[in-house]
Structure 1
């Protein structure tokens, strides 16, 4: 057997494992939806509100994992960096929604979102201000001129 055959077998095994993981994630998503549905009809209190927010953020975390698994399989076992940056930004925003009573932590989370937005802008090919691909090309051109 050659390398390509091993690669296909390993990719199939990974697809099966990811499929099983996706089923578990979807089951937990439905569980969180049922919990959120129950909390909607409960009495309004601070404890219920906090639990409601926790259940919704957990649901969206599972939703992101499910979408990321689908994207991984669709992209031939590859996740683009741009997609990972977007997932990181939404995770930080979720953290801001849940924990917003500490001023320093809120500031640091906001700065991290700003940095990720700058990275996202650099990795966007159509960006006029920060184009990472254009920067790499200029660097390569300078290297060639030095030789």
Structure 2
């Protein structure tokens, strides 16, 4: 049972309740994604076992879908390991993987493929900028007056 102090106000209780709801929802989502990940492994193994089906597009699409599930589960794990914080780089990884999957699966229209490629380029440039930028914020040591 949760013990509440007498001096806790509503302003302190509401964020804790919402954080608990968010954490429980992410655990439930992680379980669902894990089930879907295992289901994707079963589908993937069926594709490998079937010798008649040599559709490499389906094969690659299923591999990338597997990695999308894997990345979402990894992001949820990182959320809990990094004190309830989603690292931005994982969103970029997921975006790049999703766009690559989209190019592999839906490459019938060249202009759409070009747009998807430009989106990947923008995500990679964003990732590069994020890695080049120093982790310290301006208020930490650069603007401290002596």
Q: TM-score, normalised by structure 1?
A: 0.72
In the TM superposition, what are the counterparts of 1:39-54 in structure 2 within 5 Å?
A: 39-45=47-53, 49-54=56-61
| Aligned counterpart in structure 2 of residue 82 of structure 1, from 72, 78, 89 | 89
Residue 72 of structure 2 is matched in structure 1 by 65
Q: Do residues 106 (structure 1) and 110 (structure 2) align? A: no
Distance of aligned partners of 1:52 and 1:30 in 2 relative to their CA distance in 1, 3 Å threshold: same
Alpha-carbon distance, 1:132 to partner: 8.1
- CA separation in 2, counterparts of 1:54 and 1:103? 19
- CA separation in 2, counterparts of 1:39 and 1:82? 32
- 2:35 counterpart SS class: helix
Q: String of CA shifts for 1:9-33, please: whole Å, max 9, x gaps.
A: 3222221221122111111111110
- CA separation in 1, counterparts of 2:129 and 2:58? 38
Give 1 or 2: higher helix fraction: 1
Moved over 6 A (4+): none
In the TM superposition, what are the counterparts of 1:127-138 in structure 2 within 5 Å?
A: 127=132, 131=133
Residue 140 of structure 1 is matched in structure 2 by none
Say how many residue pairs are matched: 131
Residue 15 of structure 2 is matched in structure 1 by 7
Residue 19 of structure 1 is matched in structure 2 by 27
- CA separation in 2, counterparts of 1:61 and 1:83? 11
Unaligned runs of 5+ in 2: 1-7, 139-146
